């Protein structure tokens, strides 16, 4: 018996000694326990349109879309617009004559909603149906045809809202979700990847249009316009705006306005009722293979300055015809849309750093952006909206232009399709010198005289390349 006990104790001591020696010799190992973690959000609390620094991140992991979809769908709404002259109710048949439908995104608990301008354009009344089927009538705070965005407000509290993300952090190939609320379907969620950035598809009007779309292959159909494009973290990184289609349905590509541009436009609409657009003051063109070779550029990218407006911020900063803009505030601008998006984020009076190449050498300049009138004052929303309702964009003549034309006046920059001004057959470039018998020297004079007019209005002016005076007439409502 003693012999067995001795053997047992010896075996136990040997095993213990072997384990101790093994632990001393073996290198330490790190054990990682992988656990599911909830989505994290940027800009928690506070002003959703604040200018606080935005985080950059790679949001594509995980590719489980459940959390993002559940977080976003309550904040995406249906929008129904009642056209003037229609006697139908907001929430009648979806095919009722005189109505149009789209989607929108709630961005604040007290009822601020972003949508596309084309969803609410020409609407006399706007109805909003929430994800929980509550119905409201919305007030239009402001709209910007140049980016196809509009801001609405409903009277409600405690609403679920989406948080703004950083569209600059998006990368090609990253997973995204398109969330809409087309009428009679409630929320729809589709997934795809970012297939391109800085896309221009030439669908917007006006000289100030900014087309720098995020292109995705997430399915977006009619009725989803104005809905949310979100990353897998559940943050808004774009407003779904357009599709390219031959059939009228989704055919593989959809386009969204980047959230960093959305933030600036919507903040202006909220604070001023109109977008305060800072102008660089240059006419630009893309870099072609021949132009890159001619200028000795290392890459076929950048934005070619074909003309600098006298008295503009670019003129004051010393930018010249033939310069190639390659960056704004440290962000590369390989194409015209990319440059327009970057400049479009700033207001008159803001200073930006423009990086450019001149005669093969890279340099930079500080440019103070100005408005269309070549000053840094902010635009009054009522005058801006009044001019847009007439159907065109105007700009004061510079001193050099007035000297060149031998006349003072206001220049027509662009004309909106379907407007009363377009129906007069007026062309962009027309210089308005008189309203009735009253001489016009600046935009404020024009607005003042038109507001005083009744019935039929006669406008007199000249064209730069054609002799004589021209006259156009239109009727006020």
Hey, which residues are catalytic here?
118, 148, 225
Residue among 429, 374, 438 at smallest CA distance from 405:
429
Instruction: Locate 33 and state its tokens.
Output: 């326990």
The DSSP output letter for 26 is S
Residue with tokens 């950048």: 302
Structure token pair of residue 239:
């407003």
Q: Which residues contact 87 (CB under 8 A, 6 or more apart)?
A: 98
Length of the chain equals 477
| Other C-beta atoms lying within 10 Å of the C-beta of residue 6 | 10
Per the listing, tokens 């964009």 go with: 393
Cβ 105 vs Cβ 75: under 8 Å? yes
382 in Cβ contact with 366 (< 8 Å): no
Contacts of 112 (CB under 8 A, 6+ apart): 48, 106, 141, 151, 152, 153, 266, 270
Q: What angle do CA 38, 44, 49 make, to 5 degrees?
A: 135
Q: What is residue 96's DSSP assignment?
A: -
Q: Which of 424, 297, 435, 412 lies closest to 359, judged by CA?
A: 297
Residue 158: how many CB atoms within 10 A of its CB? 8
Q: Going by DSSP bridges, is the β-strand pair 213-216/163-164 parallel, antiparallel, or unpaired?
A: unpaired
Residues 6+ apart with CB under 8 A from 390: 419, 420, 421, 450, 474
280 CA to centre of own chain = 18
Compute the distance between CA of residue 99 and CA of residue 82 in angstroms, rounded to an integer: 5
Q: What are phi and psi of 36, to 5 degrees?
A: -70, 130
User: How does DSSP classify residue 419?
Assistant: S
Are 282 and 319 a contacting pair, CB within 8 Å?
Answer: yes
Of 416, 12, 456, 426, nearest in space to 209 by CA: 416
The 8-class DSSP code of residue 279 comes to B
Rg of the chain on CA atoms, in Å: 29
């Amino acid at each position: 018996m003693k012999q067995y006990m001795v053997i047992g104790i010896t075996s136990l001591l040997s095993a213990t000694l072997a384990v101790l020696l093994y632990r001393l010799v073996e290198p330490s190992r790190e054990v990682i326990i992988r656990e599911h973690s909830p989505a994290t959000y940027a800009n928690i609390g506070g002003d959703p349109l604040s200018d606080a620094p935005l985080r950059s991140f790679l949001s594509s992991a995980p590719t489980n879309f459940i959390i993002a979809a559940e977080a976003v769908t309550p904040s995406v709404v249906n929008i129904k617009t009642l056209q003037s002259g229609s006697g139908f109710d907001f929430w009648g048949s979806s095919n009722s004559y005189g109505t149009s439908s789209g989607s929108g995104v709630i961005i604040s608990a007290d009822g601020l909603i972003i949508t596309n301008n084309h969803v609410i354009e020409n609407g006399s009344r706007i109805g909003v149906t929430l994800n929980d089927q509550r119905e409201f009538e919305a007030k239009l705070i402001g709209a910007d045809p140049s980016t196809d965005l509009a801001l609405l407000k409903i009277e409600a509290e405690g609403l679920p809202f989406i948080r703004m993300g950083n569209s600059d952090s998006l990368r090609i190939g990253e997973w995204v979700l398109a969330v809409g609320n087309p009428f009679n379907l409630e929320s729809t969620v589709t997934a795809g990847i970012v297939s391109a950035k800085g896309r221009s598809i030439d669908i917007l009007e006006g000289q100030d249009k900014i087309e720098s779309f995020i292109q995705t292959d997430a399915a977006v159909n009619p009725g989803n316009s104005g809905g949310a494009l979100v990353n897998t973290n559940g943050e808004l990184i774009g407003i779904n705006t357009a599709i390219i289609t031959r059939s009228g349905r989704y055919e593989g590509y959809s386009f969204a306005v980047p959230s960093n541009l959305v933030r600036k436009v919507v903040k202006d609409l909220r604070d001023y009722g109109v977008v305060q657009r800072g102008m660089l003051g240059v006419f630009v063109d893309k870099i072609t293979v021949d132009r890159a070779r001619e200028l000795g550029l290392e890459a076929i990218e950048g934005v070619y300055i074909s003309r600098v407006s006298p008295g503009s911020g670019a003129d004051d900063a010393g930018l010249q015809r033939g310069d190639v803009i390659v960056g704004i505030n440290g962000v590369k601008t390989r194409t015209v849309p990319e440059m327009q998006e970057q400049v479009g984020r700033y207001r008159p009076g803001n200073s930006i750093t423009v990086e450019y190449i001149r005669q093969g050498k890279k340099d930079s300049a500080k440019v103070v952006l100005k408005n269309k009138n070549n000053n840094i004052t902010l635009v009054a929303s009522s005058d801006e909206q009044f001019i847009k309702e007439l159907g065109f964009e105007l700009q004061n003549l510079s001193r050099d232009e007035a000297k060149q034309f031998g006349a003072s006046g206001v220049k027509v920059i662009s004309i909106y399709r379907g407007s009363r001004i377009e129906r007069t057959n007026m062309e962009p470039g027309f210089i308005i010198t008189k309203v009735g018998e009253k001489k016009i020297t600046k935009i404020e004079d024009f607005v003042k005289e038109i507001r005083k007019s009744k019935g039929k209005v006669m406008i007199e002016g000249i064209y730069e390349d054609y002799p004589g005076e021209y006259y156009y007439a239109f009727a006020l409502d």
